[in-house]
Amino acid sequence: MADDRRPATDDWNPATDDSLDRSARFVCVIALADQEKVIAAFRGEVYGKIAFEPKGSGGFGYDPIFVPDGYDRSFAELGAVIKDSISHRGNALKKLDDFLKAQNSK
């Protein structure tokens, strides 16, 4: 059974024209809420580009075809430590963590 989160990389056939805009971003929003309301929301983003072909076996989903800005390897090739430090989820979680620390220091 195929993993529904993974793109059909066997069928991956992106345009190979370098003049096309291949820019992309991942976005994550994490909400902190209680039973009555949303207390705060934290948005994380990572910018990059879509690769011409899938590379790497790590990660999941579109990781093999997403190359973050400042890197020449896909998320799937970078490894968890680097990916987690620059990912959209990592960015949103850092903002949540900063918020919680600030609330605890009051």
Residue 99 is part of which domain span? 22-104
Tell me the CATH number at 96: 3.90.950.10
> Does the pLDDT at position 18 exceed 70?
no
Cβ 12 vs Cβ 54: under 8 Å: yes
| DSSP letter string, 69-95 | TT-SS-HHHH-HHHHHHHSHHHHHHHH
Residue 17 lies in a domain: no
Residue 59 lies in a domain: yes
**Dihedrals φ, ψ of 49, to 5°?**
-145, 160
Residue 1 lies in a domain: no
Residue 49 lies in a domain: yes
Predicted TM-score (pTM) of the model is: 0.76
Residue 14 lies in a domain: no
pLDDT in tens, 52-103: 889 998 888 899 999 999 999 999 999 899 999 999 999 999 999 999 999 9
Q: How many domains does the chain have?
A: 1
Question: What contacts 50, CB < 8 A, 6 or more positions away?
Answer: 14, 22, 24, 65, 66, 67
Q: How is the chain split among helix, strand and coil, in percent rounded to 5?
A: 30, 25, 40
